[in-house]
Amino acid sequence: MIDLEDFAQTLLSRVGVPQGATSSGGLVAHSPIDGKSIGKVATHTRHDIDAAVERGQEDFLAWRAVPAPRRGELIRLLAEQLRAEKEALGALVTIETGKILSEGTGEVQEMIDICDFAVGLSRQLYGLTIASERPGHRMMETWHPLGVVGVISAFNFPVAVWSWNFALAIVCGNSVVWKPSERTPLTALACQALFERAAKLFADAPPFLSQVIRGGVAVGEALVDNPKVALVSATGSTRMGREVGQRVARRLGRSLLELGGNNAVIVTPSADLELAIRGILFAAVGTAGQRCTSTRRLIVHASVRDTLVERLKTAYSGLSIGNPLEPKTLLGPLINAQAFDAMQAALRDARAEGGVVFGGDRVLQSEFPAAYYVKPAIVEMPSQTAVVQRETFAPILYVVTYQGFDDALEIQNAVAHGLSSSIFTNDVREAEMFMSAVGSDCGIANVNVGTSGAEIGGAFGGNKDTGGGRES
């Protein structure tokens, strides 16, 4: 197998990260492909972060006076850089997260899409004109920039989530300070380098519109606590969101929270099972179950349960698991040992709660002793027990059965999270009810397509313990 550290360093220098930026420091990046180190970066202190916010605030004051269509031009130039380096950045995402290559480059495509969207938006920052009750007056609303936007992102979408926030923040006249996941520092440096290339072509962009700060929870907290950070957009676990939301609220700042999900698919008696199997497989197994929108629960009508579960097991058995850089691979590794341990703990709990487990074992251990590849699991549960109600960030699909359609909706909504949901049905009344106010309580409701993924232009986000934020 190729040396992943060499490969990562080649890609980093290709996108313009200066040599030396990833060769020393306290934060070690590992590739989940083989578990080995691929680079080291220096971390920041609270003092560094406060200084970065100061610089960001100064540049915001200049940037807010630049006309919005001109600000859009900077993002158009960023999109050009992303188009030119899509393969390189995509491969780097694969090396750092373990997602398969088509998902790595797919994530970069999402960045390009949001840049295009933001460029269009830069000429469409409208406000309402409102009839005034006072004679000879008119009333209008004008949207102003906020200031420094703090972005905190998770490991599983290391570049797209930054771009969703960044492209919109910049065209709207803000500056951004980004704290990427401590597990994905290299892709963050690559994004910063590509932005700096775009900024050079723009010629007169203030130097600190985009800054990356590196480190773990303490670095995130320093960003969250800084009163000059006007908006904190945080993506990650519900545990993190609860802490961040409360800290920002304490100083009466604004937060946008994109948190965990426990997404379900309902399969009804009239469903096209072929379509359902493809949709469930992609959403439950894709990215090794490490998407916020991964399908974790299958709520299936008793009349089709046995057929569906048997066919899913057959499909699961044929999956190629392995190095995500190889084109034939459909399922790469889990991010690290903790993710593997959490998966095994969930499977143990599921068995204790009456579940019957198919799959879930570790594979390829002799080839990759320091990496964690698993067979995805299907777990048939007697009901929606405690383990089914929590998000385990791994490829586990819990199956529960329903009899009446109202029961299916009740089971679907009876968890703490509310991100994505799907129904497979050919009955238009069921589909309409699912999408109505008495149907799915999630931010995203799909019909005849799986739960995972998002599309630029439709507000992305979820309700309840998912945090209530909307992006893109």
Catalytic residue flag (residue 410): no
Whose Cβ is closer to ligand NAD: residue 38's or residue 309's?
Answer: 38
Please, are residues 309 and 300 in contact by the beta-carbon 8 Å criterion?
A: yes
Give me the residues that bind ligand NAD (CB under 6 A), please: 152-157, 179, 181-182, 216-217, 220-221, 224, 235-237, 240, 243-244, 258-261, 292, 391, 393, 419, 466
Active site residue 353: no
Q: Which is nearer to ligand NAD, 155 or 402 (CB)?
A: 155
| Backbone phi and psi for residue 152, each to the nearest 5 degrees, phi listed first | -120, 125
Which of 115, 172, 191, 292 is an active site residue? 292
Quickly tell me which residue has 């799907």 as its tokens. 422
Which lies closer to ligand NAD via its Cβ, residue 153 or residue 268? 153
Q: Return the bridge partners of 399, or none.
A: 298, 380
Name the active-site residue from 73, 107, 258, 430: 258
Residue nearest to ligand NAD (CB): 220
Instruction: Work out the number of other CB atoms within 10 angstroms of the CB of residue 265.
Output: 27
Q: Cβ(294)–Cβ(377) under 8 Å?
A: no
| Nearest-approach distance from CB 127 to ligand NAD, in angstroms | 28
8 Å CB contact between 229 and 148: yes
Residue 208 near residue 59, CB atoms below 8 Å? yes
Which two three-digit tokens encode residue 410? 């009740």
Closer residue to ligand NAD, CB minimum distance, 257 or 423: 257
Q: Closest CB to ligand NAD among 112 and 334?
A: 334
- Residues 159/165/168/172 CA torsion (nearest 10 deg): -140
Minimal distance, residue 154 CB to ligand NAD, in Å: 3
Question: Shortest Cβ distance from residue 396 to ligand NAD (Å)?
Answer: 14
Q: How far is the CB of 466 from ligand NAD (least distance, A)?
A: 6
**Of 1, 45, 327, 392, nearest in space to 214 by CA:** 45
HSE-CB of 87 using CA atoms within 13 angstroms = 4
Confirm if 335 and 98 have CB atoms less than 8 A apart.
yes
Shortest Å distance, C-beta 194 to ligand NAD: 20
**Residues labelled as active-site residues:** 258, 292
